[in-house]
Amino acid sequence: MSDVQGAANIVGQGNLKFGNIIRTGFSVFKIPVIVPVILIGAAIAFLVTYFFPPPAIATPETLSTYLPGALLRAGIVLVIEFILGAIVAFAVFEHLAGRAISFGQCVALLVPRLLPYLVLLVISSVLESLGFLLLVVVGVILALMWYVAGPALLIEKLGPIASLQRSAFLTKGSKGQLFGLSLLLVLVFAGFGVVQFVLQFLIPVVVVKAAIIAVIGQIAYAYGFSVLTVVYRDLRRLREGPESGAVAAVFS
């Protein structure tokens, strides 16, 4: 059974299929576009980790010198990760539709949507953080309501606010399922973390160890964005049917 056929089994049913989503998410690794995404992300993570290690001895003086730069580097890396994640979203969406797309085409699609995408990330992150500070349940509800706002913006060419509204529509009635899926994904990502942890003791060469751990981290990131895109596609099918005109015309 193909990825497309397997995921299509949910059409007409009222629930997301966790096993199908988890399995179909791994289809990202069949797409040639993912190779440069992983390599670029891993190279950046490796350079930051290897050339800017934390101080050997943590004192108020060393931490006050190290932390500002570390926070700035972490912010830059996070933005780059989300940009690479957007490329993954384009590639996975096309793959699930049975269409091929190149890395260059993904970048070309992203460029005009990059600024709205970054604005969306800032708005959703700030509001969700405020929600968690106000009451944890509020933050969780907002995070679940805006679960697929990123893919909605990228795929449907929406603005930041419209993407939040679109995600709220798509996730209506499915927040409990999305919460359960999120818990399941925690276990999946814990598996990636265990592999990284074990490799720290198995690989003696520091440079090789850092490089491999960086690659595994990027594989986990790519998988996460792949699952997010699969969830977005499946929610659209549940709410609007298997082949809505909007889905078919996204990359036309």
pLDDT at 244: 53
The answer to whether residue 37 is domain-embedded is yes
Do 27 and 3 form a contact (C-beta atoms < 8 A)? yes
Phi/psi at 245 (nearest 5 deg)? -60, -35
Structural domain for 123, as ranges = 31-249
pLDDT at 68: 83
Q: Who's near 1: CB < 8 A, 6+ residues apart?
A: none
The answer to whether residue 174 is domain-embedded is yes
Q: Who's near 210: CB < 8 A, 6+ residues apart?
A: 46, 49, 50
Instruction: Map 169-220 to HEC letters.
Output: HHHCCCHHHHHHHHHHHHHHHHHHHHHHHHHHHHCCCHHHHHHHHHHHHHHH
Percent of the chain clearing pLDDT 70 (strictly above): 90
Residues 35-48 pLDDT 10s: 999 999 999 988 88
pLDDT confidence of 252, banded at 50, 70, 90? Answer: low
For residue 202, which of 212, 217, 216, 190 has the smallest C-alpha distance?
A: 212
Answer yes or no: is pLDDT of 11 > 50: no
The separation between CA 223 and the C-alpha centre of its own chain, rounded to angstroms, equals: 7
Answer yes or no: is pLDDT of 163 > 90: yes
pLDDT at 73: 85
C-alpha–C-alpha distance, residues 106 and 88, integer Å = 8
C-alpha–C-alpha distance, residues 64 and 74, integer Å = 16
pLDDT at 188: 93
Please tell me the least confidently modeled range out of 77-81, 134-138, 244-248.
244-248
For residue 144, which of 132, 154, 156 has the smallest C-alpha distance?
A: 132
The answer to whether residue 13 is domain-embedded is no
Triad 184, 81, 168: Cα angle to 5°: 55
pLDDT at 1: 44
Do 103 and 222 form a contact (C-beta atoms < 8 A)? no
CB-count burial class (<10 Å; 0-12, 13-18, 19+) for 77:
middle
Answer yes or no: is pLDDT of 138 > 90: yes
The answer to whether residue 153 is domain-embedded is yes
The answer to whether residue 239 is domain-embedded is yes
Dihedral sign of CA atoms 70, 71, 76, 78 in order: positive
pLDDT at 32: 93
pLDDT at 230: 95
The answer to whether residue 12 is domain-embedded is no
The answer to whether residue 15 is domain-embedded is no
pLDDT confidence of 245, banded at 50, 70, 90? Answer: very low
C-alpha–C-alpha distance, residues 105 and 99, integer Å = 12
Answer yes or no: is pLDDT of 4 > 50: no
SS3 32: coil
Residues 105-123 pLDDT 10s: 999 999 999 999 999 999 9
Domain count, the chain: 1
> To the nearest whole number, what is the mean pLDDT of the chain?
87
The answer to whether residue 9 is domain-embedded is no
Answer yes or no: is pLDDT of 250 > 90: no
pLDDT confidence of 60, banded at 50, 70, 90? Answer: confident
